[in-house]
Amino acid sequence: WRRKDTSCVRNSKEGRIKNPKESKGAAMKAVIRKQRMDLSILFLEVLIESTSMFLVKLSYLSSKIDDKQLGVMRVHVKRGINLAIRDSTTSDPYVVVTLANQKVKTRVINSNCNPVWDEQLALTIKDVTDPIRMTVYDKDRFSGDDKMGDAEIDMRPFLEAHQMELDFQKLPNGCAIKRIRPGRTNCLAEESSITWSNGKIIQDMILRLRNVECGELEIMLELADGPGCKGLGREGSKKTSWMQTKQLD
């Protein structure tokens, strides 16, 4: 008699001999593939959940930031007048405008102590008590830029004009709403008028630069509401909260 070899079994469907060890190895590989797939799915689920939580937090922080934005101040930097000489016979001036931690600047105009920039710069208002600071610099290629004076602007008189109980639409174009005189508490070189012009309130002013031998800046202020801002403009006869606080003080 001959012992029957059971190490191999014929697979009738495939017509070939199948080794039980190979079948066991294939089964193990299938289990490993399934485990890897389960881990991949779990990783994707965790990643999606983490991303969703991050987006929720980002949206929350954005809403908090927007809650602090009151409006947008547009500073129209028109020109410089008799600015100081910082090179041999002239200067290459530009203006840096800051409000709290924001900073914007004009382009550089070469070899001109009476430059005309005619540029509009925008700054977000978060605290009406923060002053707008303007600093003029002389651009140098091979060394640090030299200061050519600075000035500060108190926004509150301009913002208060927006809260006046007037029907602005009935005012004639160019009508002066409020006048501010030069004094020790401001940098005005001459009287400044807040006027109703072409359907909006603006303030033209000439600033005398400090910490320098000479020089003035001519600028204009205009208030605009930005995306997500609460707004500082008039809403009927209601005053904004910062105005109510000021009156209580």
Number of other CB atoms surrounding residue 19 within 10 Å:
11
Same domain, yes or no: 56 and 147:
no
Of 36, 51, 67, the residue that ends a domain is 67
Same domain, yes or no: 32 and 142:
no
Same domain, yes or no: 195 and 161:
yes
Same domain, yes or no: 28 and 75:
no
Show the domain range for 43.
16-67
pLDDT score of 111:
96
CATH code of the domain in which 182 resides: 2.60.40.150
Same domain, yes or no: 32 and 75:
no
Is residue 76 in some structural domain? yes
pTM of structure: 0.67
Same domain, yes or no: 37 and 160:
no
Is residue 172 in some structural domain? yes
Same domain, yes or no: 44 and 79:
no
Confidence label for 58 from pLDDT (cuts 50, 70 and 90) = low
Buried b (16+ CB within 10 A) or exposed e, 29-64: eeeeeeeeeeeeeeeeeeeeeeeeeeeeeeeeeeee
Q: Considering the chain, what percentage of its residues have pLDDT values greater than 70?
A: 72
Same domain, yes or no: 61 and 106:
no
Q: In the predicted model, what is the mean pLDDT of residues 163-175?
A: 86
Is residue 4 in some structural domain? no
